[in-house]
Structure formats: C-alpha cells, structure tokens
Chains A and B, each alone.
Chain A
Amino acid sequence: MYKIEYAADLAESIKLLVVLAPMVAAKAQAGHFVVVRNGEKGERIPLTIAGYDRQKGTITLVVQSVGKSSSEICALQEGDALTDVLGPLGHATHIERVGTVLCVAGGVGVAPVYPIAKAFKEAGNRLISVIGARSKDLIFFQTEMKAVSDVVHYTTDDGSYGLHGFVTDAVKNIVEGGEKVDKVIAIGPLPMMKAVADLTRNYGISTVVSLNALMVDGTGMCGGCRVTVGGETKFSCVDGPDFDGHKVDFAELLRRQTRFSEEEKMAYGRYRKEEHKCRIR
C-alpha cells in the first residue's frame, strides 16, 4: 500500500495527492509517469508524476475525475492509500539547452508540464508558458508555473481570465509577435495537442507532445497503448510517452481512445448512482 500523505482540491474535480513511494521518488524525472491501482478490483491507470521529493520519498499526482477510476482516486483523503503504484515509467523528457522553450498546458496538463518547465528552466533556457483552461476557476499551479517561467500567458475558453480563446491563439500571438521559439512542449487533451502541433508545423518549430494512450500494464507487455508515429507503430508506455508532435497520427489515437467508451460510460453511470445513494444515507 502506498500512503497518501497529503491531499488537496486544486479546482472543481481536480485533486492533488502526495503519495509515499520512496523508490519511485528516488528515480523520478520530469516526464515520467506511474501506473496506479486503487482497490483489489481496481483497474491500472497511468498518471504523470507532477513532482517528487526524494528526501521525503514522495511523489505528487494531480488527478482529474473523468470516469469511475479517476473519481474514486479523487475521493481519497490524507491517510488513505493507493493499492499499487508502479514506476517511474516511460522515458524522461529529453532536457537540453536550446534557447527559448514554450510550454503549452491545456487543462490538467499543467501538472505534467510543470516539472518539465522547471527542468528546462534549470537547464538555462528562457521559458515562456501558456496555460489554458475552460474557465478561471479551473486554473491551478499558477504560483508554481510563475516561479519557473520568464513569462506566463493564460487563456480561457469563456474569457473569464487572460486571453479569451484557445492556447493556440496565445501561441500564435507569441510566435507571430516576434518571439524566437526553439522548442515547444505541449501537454493536454489530445485535440489540443493536435492543434498546437498543426500550428507549429507551419512555423517549423520542433514540438514534443506527451501522449495519453489507453494503457494496461505500462511496461511494454500488452501493446494496447500502441500509436503510429512517423508511420511506425510505437508503444507509448515504453517508447514514449513523449513523441514528436509533427509525426503523431492523432486521428488514429483519438479513435483508439474510444475503444472502451461504452463500457467506461456504463461503469461511471453505476458509480455515480452508488455514490449518490451513499450521500443520501
């Protein structure tokens, strides 16, 4: 069991968990993820390591409830525990000094972006961040991102904070406003990563995306997480999760995300009914 040392709500249905996992913390680097399981009947789900403290032996996870498993994890409190935490998995993000790095985060994607931004900053790059969300109250990690960025831009879909629009609008403004960007890191929902990659392709700026394919083991054993990159089949868990955004077949990946939609919907529906009953009691 992996004890939750601290839990906090970051925004509506987004939770931060600090989990005791010393061996994972000891090896964790920006870009790594873990596979966690909650309960003996739980499924294995991948979550990015949003931070780690080697001394305390903890890792930070930021979870958004989108279905049954993530909702159950979001309901955990300080003192509870995760049944399994496996990691660190995947290749760490390749950090180098390139000049100016633009980190683009969509929604909960700011959690995985943060350690990467921090590492690029520490490697001596100028760092510009774009943080996009549906509305103001869904933005979190503002202080953290500010601390590692030279400039932070915000966008909201409803205009409640920062630029009224999408992250791509901000990226466009930045690049076309004359900023020489050498590398883009984009993490968030698939359509957002695709939109950013499509945009930066025109500018010829190298763009790294972190793919959230459906996973089971996270160790290269099942092939369920396969994606097509540059015409070749890759396993996102062991070959990624970072890939060249200009080469990813996003249409295929978007489609593969729906492999179990019906089952997921059914499980979530049942879960919400059960939860509702508990609340009434």
Chain B
Amino acid sequence: MSDKVRMREQSPEERIKNFNEVPYGYDEREALQEASRCLGCKKHPCTRGCPVEVNIPEFIARIKESDFIGAVEVIKRKNSLPAICGRVCPQENQCESYCVLGRKGEPVAIGRLERFAADYEREHRQTGMTAAPSSGSKTKVAVIGAGPAGLTAAADLALLGYEVVLFEALHAPGGVLRYGIPEFRLPKAILDEEVGYIRSLGVDIRYNMLVGATLSIDDLFADGYKAVFIGTGAGLPYFLGIPGENLNGVYSANEFLTRVNLMRAYRFPEYDTPVRIGRHVAVVGGGNVAMDAARTALRLGADKVSIVYRRAWEEMPARAEEKHHGREEGIDFKLLNNPVAILGDEKGWVKGMECVRMELGEPDESGRRRPVVIEGSEYVLDVDTVVVSIGQGPNPLLVQSTSGLETNKRGNITADPDTMATSIPGVYAGGDIVTGAATVIAAMGAGKIAAGNIDKYLKIKGL
C-alpha cells in the first residue's frame, strides 16, 4: 500500500519568520490521490474513532467522484466546523488511529481530506446561500460562550428553529480558537468565515457579556429565554506555585497567547497591545498550549526556545503534527526536566530558571510512568522569559453567581453525559467547562448533544 500523500508546507527556515499558516493543504489532484487510498470499508471503523461520528468513507467517496461540495455536506451533517477540525483535531488518536490501513502502513489522511473539502467549499461558497430564517415569535434560547461548544450548540439550535442569542465575554468570537490557537495553525480569516456562516443561520452574537457580572442566568430566564447552554470553557490558568513566578518576564500561556492572538501583539505597534519577548524563552509544559506558545515565541524573534517538560517525548500530549513541526523549527526539547524556581535579577526580571532532571519510575494512575526527581541534578537554565503552560481550569465566576448549579470538586459543572443537562432544569452545559481542558471536537460534540436535548426538553415542556 502506498504512503499517504504529503502535504506541502512552508519550509521551517521561512515559516519561523512569519505568522502564516504552515501547511498549504492539498490541491485537487493530491486530494483525489489520497482519497483513492480509502478502501471504503463496510464497517468503517474510522467513524467509531470520530467523537461526532462523521461518515468518513461516505465523504471520501464524494471526493473520489470530485463532488467536493457533496463531501462537505456529508461532513456538515455531523460537524459544523470542518475547516477548523481538519486543522486542529488530534486525528492520530481519533479517526486515523482506527483506519484499517494503519495496521500495515499509514492510515488514510482523513484530517487533510476534511480540510481540503472544507476549504474547497469555503472558496466556492455562494454568498447568501443560507438566508437568515425569518424571525417570528420563536422560542428563545441563550448560549453562553462563543467557543466551539457554544458555537455548535447555537448553530444546531438555530437550525432547529429557535431564536438563539449567544453571549460572549470577550470582544470577538471563537473562544480558544480566537485567543489560544495561533494564526499559523488556524488562520483567523477561516474562523471568521465559519462564524459568519453560523450568524447567517440567524444566531445573534452579543459581545462584552460576562455572564455572572453583566447579567446572570436568572436574568436570562426573566428575559424570556426558555433554556440556557453553558459553554464557558476552561479559561483559568494554573501556575506552578514555585518561587519567582511573579517576576517580570513570566507569563501564563493564556496571557502570552491572548496578547498575541486576540490582541494581535505580533503586529505591535500597529496594534496597541504589547508583548515582550526575550532572547531565550522557556515554555513549561508539553501539551498543545505549550507547543503553540513555544512556536509563537520563535516567530516573535526569540533566539532560542526551550520546552521544559517533566515526562518524555511519547508522553507529550500535543498533537503529533505540532511536535513534529516544533522539532523542525528548532525548538529545544528539555524532556524529563522540571522547574523548581525562577530566578530574578536585582530589578525583578527573570534571569534564569532552576530545573531538576527526572527519570521515569513506576506507572501512575494515568498508566504513564511517573517522573521522579534525580537527586542532586539541579542546574540553572539561562532564560529571560518563562511561559507557564501546565493547564487551565474552569473559571469560577459564572458558577459562583448561579445558585443551585452543581460542580465537582475541581469546579467543573456536573452534566449528564447523555444529555448535557445540569442540576438546574433547562440549563445545559458542555465542552471544557464540564470535562476540563479537552479538544475542539469533544466540545463541539457536547454542544451538539446539548442542542438536541434542549430541543427535546422544550418540546416536552411545550415551550
């Protein structure tokens, strides 16, 4: 069996000097060639690996027939944001890990095909194709948070005929897709078009609406909303709790990425928000967030960027493609290393980070071998900027202002996994606010399930 068709991309030397997207995507010929590798398996195990169960061989069959628009229609039955998922889903752990071809060679490049079809449709989409449904006296539903969970729930509810208002705290939509994932991985123009499509379905997005401060869930019900979906994500940055973390030059990944992505600090001073990057940047962590921060720091002109991660390469939870791209771009991986203190100069700026080396011991609860400190291995890494990206938790603001909304001990909202119903009748929740930091597709899947169950709930209630 042939290998999968390579995707052309900017060379590492070139791309670390700009914020443009790294891979160019397949052209028609490449897509046809890749699609021809799919066996169209009757049982299509790949679909089982997809959190929203896209009928994968069916959409690939459309590509084979050069019916690219038809391919997108198949995907969109289950996934309203394919151009985004094709770029950011960890396909190697999902659909592609189930593909039968993967047993002997490389699986079908399902993600790249999804991206191709979605891009084709976007480029050939006729404007005004989806007219906004006329607003009569429709039942009102409120959605909180314009991340992937909220956007998906809003789109599905609008398609089901509800009047949907989406309340977003920031001044722009997308959630992590806007403030977290950088331009070179997900161009904001694509996000804008996808959001435009959702708005064309009649969804009214209102910005600067921090639910829990500007208004409360009780206010929403009082205003005539009959049901509420909460998709507020995991936006609270965790810190290491080591000495020196408040020195100048230490950022949370959220602050660093928000400055650059949402506020466009990479175009300072044209844009007003500054970001300051030193010569040698250490990024602490090993997930997608850490990879994004590290690759962003490179593009902002750092001489050297080191990822400091306490486990080994295989355990790094970032997408395989990002790890690969990061390595190509010259990121220095300090694996099996852990920071113990950040050191400052007399003026309070970072001048180094003390680390220890680790080795792998017995497996822990997660089944991964637990990293243990090697005694006497302390050393100082010569850095002047530190980006902490060790995870995010739920922002407590909304929960604190809503009586009767149950959470678990980590502060995540408790929701029934089958329906996304919370402890308050008519209030549903999904995405990172329920699961803790997870994936774009999982958040979308939750938004979809919630939309269906909100519809059921409202019908049963006769609302």
A residues with a Cβ closer than 8 A to B are 23-24, 27, 37, 41-44, 68-69, 83-89, 216-217, 219-224, 226, 228, 233, 238, 252, 255-256, 258-260, 262-264, 266-267, 270
B259 / chain A contacts, CB cutoff of 8 Å: 216
Using CB atoms, name the residue of chain A closest to B238.
Answer: A223
Q: Are B276 and A222 touching (Cβ within 8 A)? A: no
Taking a contact as CB atoms closer than 8 A, the residue among A37, A219, A223 that contacts B252 in the complex is A223
Using CB atoms, name the residue of chain B closest to A34.
Answer: B208
B residues with a Cβ closer than 8 A to A are 169-171, 179, 207-210, 213-215, 235-237, 239, 245-246, 248-249, 251-252, 254-255, 258-259, 263-264, 268-274, 276, 347-348, 395-397
Q: Are B263 and A43 touching (Cβ within 8 A)? A: yes
Taking a contact as CB atoms closer than 8 A, the residue among B214, B254, B268, B273 that contacts A221 in the complex is B254
A68 / chain B contacts, CB cutoff of 8 Å: 272
Q: Which 7 residue pairs across A and B have the least CB separation, nearest first?
A: A263-B274, A222-B255, A43-B272, A255-B348, A223-B252, A86-B208, A43-B273
A42 / chain B contacts, CB cutoff of 8 Å: 272
- What are 25 residue pairs bridging A and B, where the CB atoms are less than 8 Å apart in the complex? A23-B214, A23-B215, A41-B271, A43-B263, A68-B272, A86-B169, A86-B171, A87-B210, A88-B213, A217-B169, A220-B235, A220-B396, A220-B397, A221-B179, A221-B235, A221-B237, A221-B254, A221-B395, A222-B254, A256-B246, A256-B248, A259-B248, A259-B249, A263-B268, A267-B269
A267 / chain B contacts, CB cutoff of 8 Å: 268-269, 272, 274
B258 / chain A contacts, CB cutoff of 8 Å: 216-217, 221-222
* With A86-B169, A256-B246 as contacts: A224 and B272 at CB distance below 8 Å: no
Q: Are A260 and B208 touching (Cβ within 8 A)? A: no
Taking a contact as CB atoms closer than 8 A, the residue among B171, B179, B252 that contacts A84 in the complex is B171
The secondary structure that dominates the A interface is mixed
Q: Give Cα A117–Cα B258 distance, bound, in whole angstroms.
A: 36
A263 / chain B contacts, CB cutoff of 8 Å: 268-269, 274, 276
B214 / chain A contacts, CB cutoff of 8 Å: 23-24, 27, 86-88
In the assembled complex, the CB of B162 is this many whole angstroms from the nearest CB of chain A, namely 22
A259 / chain B contacts, CB cutoff of 8 Å: 248-249, 276
Q: Are A216 and B255 touching (Cβ within 8 A)? A: yes
B171 / chain A contacts, CB cutoff of 8 Å: 37, 44, 83-84, 86
Q: Are B263 and A222 touching (Cβ within 8 A)? A: no
* With A86-B210, A220-B235, A238-B397 as contacts: A266 and B269 at CB distance below 8 Å: yes
Q: Give Cα A220–Cα B271 distance, bound, in whole angstroms.
A: 23
Q: Are B236 and A233 touching (Cβ within 8 A)? A: no
Q: Are B208 and A84 touching (Cβ within 8 A)? A: yes
Q: Are A85 and B208 touching (Cβ within 8 A)? A: yes
Q: Are B210 and A219 touching (Cβ within 8 A)? A: yes
Determine which residue in B171, B179, B249, B251 has the highest number of CB atoms from chain A within 10 A of its CB, and name it.
Answer: B171
* With A223-B255, A260-B276 as contacts: A255 and B248 at CB distance below 8 Å: yes
In the assembled complex, the CB of A242 is this many whole angstroms from the nearest CB of chain B, namely 16
Using CB atoms, name the residue of chain A closest to B273.
Answer: A43
Q: Are A226 and B169 touching (Cβ within 8 A)? A: no
Q: Are B236 and A220 touching (Cβ within 8 A)? A: yes
Determine which residue in B252, B255, B270 has the highest number of CB atoms from chain A within 10 A of its CB, and name it.
Answer: B255
B209 / chain A contacts, CB cutoff of 8 Å: 23
In the assembled complex, the CB of A214 is this many whole angstroms from the nearest CB of chain B, namely 10
Using CB atoms, name the residue of chain B closest to A2.
Answer: B208
The secondary structure that dominates the B interface is loop
A37 / chain B contacts, CB cutoff of 8 Å: 171
Taking a contact as CB atoms closer than 8 A, the residue among A84, A217, A264 that contacts B207 in the complex is A84
* With A83-B171, A86-B210, A238-B397 as contacts: A233 and B254 at CB distance below 8 Å: no
In the assembled complex, the CB of B213 is this many whole angstroms from the nearest CB of chain A, namely 6
In the assembled complex, the CB of B282 is this many whole angstroms from the nearest CB of chain A, namely 17
Q: Are A233 and B239 touching (Cβ within 8 A)? A: yes
Using CB atoms, name the residue of chain B closest to A84.
Answer: B171
10 A-B pairs besides A223-B254, A259-B276, A263-B269 with CB distance below 8 A are: A41-B270, A85-B208, A89-B213, A216-B255, A216-B258, A221-B254, A222-B252, A222-B254, A255-B248, A263-B268
B215 / chain A contacts, CB cutoff of 8 Å: 23, 27
In the assembled complex, the CB of B251 is this many whole angstroms from the nearest CB of chain A, namely 7
A228 / chain B contacts, CB cutoff of 8 Å: 246
Q: Give Cα A252–Cα B245 distance, bound, in whole angstroms.
A: 11
Determine which residue in A89, A219, A270 has the highest number of CB atoms from chain B within 10 A of its CB, and name it.
Answer: A219
Q: Are B263 and A223 touching (Cβ within 8 A)? A: no
Taking a contact as CB atoms closer than 8 A, the residue among B245, B249, B268, B274 that contacts A233 in the complex is B245
In the assembled complex, the CB of A152 is this many whole angstroms from the nearest CB of chain B, namely 33
In the assembled complex, the CB of A251 is this many whole angstroms from the nearest CB of chain B, namely 8
* With A255-B347, A259-B276, A263-B276 as contacts: A224 and B210 at CB distance below 8 Å: no
Q: Give Cα A84–Cα B272 distance, bound, in whole angstroms.
A: 15
Q: Give Cα A264–Cα B269 distance, bound, in whole angstroms.
A: 9
B272 / chain A contacts, CB cutoff of 8 Å: 41-43, 68-69, 267
Q: Give Cα A216–Cα B208 distance, bound, in whole angstroms.
A: 14
Using CB atoms, name the residue of chain B closest to A269.
Answer: B269
Q: Give Cα A94–Cα B162 distance, bound, in whole angstroms.
A: 41
B397 / chain A contacts, CB cutoff of 8 Å: 219-220, 238
Q: Are B169 and A219 touching (Cβ within 8 A)? A: yes
Q: Give Cα A243–Cα B280 distance, bound, in whole angstroms.
A: 35
Using CB atoms, name the residue of chain A closest to B259.
Answer: A216
Q: Give Cα A221–Cα B257 distance, bound, in whole angstroms.
A: 11
Determine which residue in B214, B239, B251, B268 has the highest number of CB atoms from chain A within 10 A of its CB, and name it.
Answer: B214
In the assembled complex, the CB of A103 is this many whole angstroms from the nearest CB of chain B, namely 25
Taking a contact as CB atoms closer than 8 A, the residue among B251, B263, B348 that contacts A44 in the complex is B263
Q: Are B237 and A223 touching (Cβ within 8 A)? A: yes
Determine which residue in A86, A87, A256, A267 has the highest number of CB atoms from chain B within 10 A of its CB, and name it.
Answer: A86
A216 / chain B contacts, CB cutoff of 8 Å: 255, 258-259, 263, 273
* With A266-B269, A270-B269 as contacts: A223 and B395 at CB distance below 8 Å: no
B207 / chain A contacts, CB cutoff of 8 Å: 84
Q: Give Cα A226–Cα B244 distance, bound, in whole angstroms.
A: 13
B268 / chain A contacts, CB cutoff of 8 Å: 263, 267
Q: Give Cα A143–Cα B179 distance, bound, in whole angstroms.
A: 44
* With A219-B397, A220-B397 as contacts: A87 and B213 at CB distance below 8 Å: yes
In the assembled complex, the CB of A38 is this many whole angstroms from the nearest CB of chain B, namely 9
Q: Give Cα A259–Cα B347 distance, bound, in whole angstroms.
A: 11
Q: Give Cα A265–Cα B251 distance, bound, in whole angstroms.
A: 21
Q: Give Cα A222–Cα B249 distance, bound, in whole angstroms.
A: 14
Q: Are A223 and B239 touching (Cβ within 8 A)? A: yes
Q: Give Cα A63–Cα B179 distance, bound, in whole angstroms.
A: 28
Q: Give Cα A222–Cα B245 distance, bound, in whole angstroms.
A: 14
In the assembled complex, the CB of A138 is this many whole angstroms from the nearest CB of chain B, namely 26
Using CB atoms, name the residue of chain B closest to A267.
Answer: B269
